[in-house]
Amino acid sequence: MKKHNFNAGPSILPREAIENAAKAVLDFNGSGLSILEISHRTKDFEEVNDEAMALFRELLNIPDEYKILFLGGGASTQFFHVPYNLLEKKAGYVNTGVWSKKAIKEAKLFGEVEVIASSEDKNFTYIPKGYKIPTDLDYLHITSNNTIYGTEYKTDIDSPVTLVADMSSDILSRPVDVKKYGLIYGGAQKNMGPAGVTFVIVREDILGKVSRQLPSMVDYRNHIANNSMFNTPPVFPIFVLKETLKWLKSIGGVPEMQKRNKAKADLLYGEIDRNPLFVGTAAKEDRSLMNICFVMAEPYQDLAAEFLEFAKGKGMVGIKGHRLVGGFRASCYNALPIESVQALVDCMQEFEKMHVK
Ligand SMILES: *Cc1c(COP(=O)(O)O)cnc(C)c1O
């Protein structure tokens, strides 16, 4: 049976990228060696690294004064790398869910943290708006897409202080005005590649301003000075990331991707709003294009487990909601084709016929 992969992360990758990765595992560039057994200090791998960076720069329109890093450790490691490098006195954080909270917890180890806005009062079902950003902050941190709750910033906000964003789950899903940010980071495993590589985009002039000593591996400047090869980089994940970016370029880049993501989200949200069995959980104006969260409507709540089983029987994978929200979450990342969303919609309609008279 065809599987429809709605996993929240690690998640679906383009078939081409997986096939090229499989080939490189067996024989990389006709070298007679596997990509898994070569030095990162070879010309062949340096080309992979450079191409991955060049594609990322091109696809996201990253200006020259920003450096790109591919590191290990996941987005969670950036939760402390960011304040280590940038927090001298006080940072501001917008609390839009679990990932924001984890970032806040780490930042508090390095200085004062002011939570300048939060949507915790409504279980993070919306993106806070209309708050004032104090100008005495070292930086302001936001989470652009809230993977667990299905909320997303629709525009790049204006900030009078250095803006830092965790874009783990919506990077490359829409055009971003990189110039509005000082630093953008995220794990690759939602929208950009496999698990094991973390991207950082940083404007160099924001670095080197804190008075504390930085461990070498934490100091972004060491990674920048070594073209992101200060230590052994995640060689294979970077290769797969490069293949994923090649695919994204081949379909028309980020504007085309955004169009497709909108079409997928419109299709699924449209069905959620029409079908009496289901309701969406996120505020409509803040609905994520990436993670679409919904639950059974009040009178049908005891059908949730049955719907999950039914959908599973039709090839749907990964649609159980996160335990903090319940219900269902369909992650519709870049590589998910609209046919999979249509298959889920068909499933919802069939289930409706079975249960709504
Ligand atoms: C998945 C996720 C993380 C955690 O990423 P790791 O690479 O597992 O550390 C952080 N932030 C957001 C928004 C995420 O979706």
- Which candidate, 7, 1, 14, 8, places its Cα nearest to that of 247? 14
Ligand 1, residue 144: give the atom nearest the CA: 13
Give the gyration radius of the chain's Cα atoms.
Answer: 21
pLDDT of residue 20: 98
3-class DSSP state for residue 51?
helix
CB 42 within 8 A of CB 29: no
pLDDT of residue 55: 98
Beta-ladder partners of 140: 92, 163
Residue 147 Cβ contacting ligand 1 at under 6 Å: yes
Report the Cα 136 to chain-centroid distance in Å.
29
Question: What is the spatial distance between Cα 127 and Cα 143, in angstroms, rounded to a whole number?
Answer: 10
Report the half-sphere exposure of 111 (CA within 13 A, side-chain side): 20
Residue 76: what are its φ and ψ, rounded to 5°? -60, -30
Report the amino acid identity of residue 7.
N
Q: Report CA(187)–ligand 1 centroid distance (Å).
A: 6
Tokens of 63: 């200006």
Residue 182 Cβ contacting ligand 1 at under 6 Å: no
Q: Report CA(101)–ligand 1 centroid distance (Å).
A: 12
Residue 9 Cβ contacting ligand 1 at under 6 Å: yes
Question: What is the spatial distance between Cα 352 and Cα 330, in angstroms, rounded to a whole number?
Answer: 18
CB 274 within 8 A of CB 227: no
What is the chain's pLDDT, residue by residue, as a tens digit (357 residues)?
999 999 999 999 999 999 999 999 999 999 999 999 999 999 999 999 999 999 999 999 999 999 999 999 999 999 999 999 999 999 999 999 999 999 999 999 999 999 999 999 999 999 999 999 999 999 999 999 999 999 999 999 999 999 999 999 999 999 999 999 999 999 999 999 999 999 999 999 999 999 999 999 999 999 999 999 999 999 999 999 999 999 999 999 999 999 999 999 999 999 999 999 999 999 999 999 999 999 999 999 999 999 999 999 999 999 999 999 999 999 999 999 999 999 999 999 999 999 998
Beta-ladder partners of 142: 165
Q: Which of 7, 70, 76 to mutate to test the pocket of ligand 1 (most atoms within 8 A of CB)?
A: 76
Residue 187 Cβ contacting ligand 1 at under 6 Å: yes
Q: Report CA(81)–ligand 1 centroid distance (Å).
A: 14
Angle between helices 304-313 and 338-355 (to 10 degrees): 130
For CA atoms 336, 10, 93, 116, the dihedral sign is positive
pLDDT of residue 160: 98
Output DSSP code: residue 287: B
Question: What is the spatial distance between Cα 192 and Cα 129, in angstroms, rounded to a whole number?
Answer: 28
Residue 175: what are its φ and ψ, rounded to 5°? -65, 145
Q: Indicate left, alpha or beta for 189 from its phi (over 0: left) and psi (-120 to 50: alpha).
A: alpha
The pTM score is 0.98
pLDDT of residue 108: 98
pLDDT of residue 105: 98
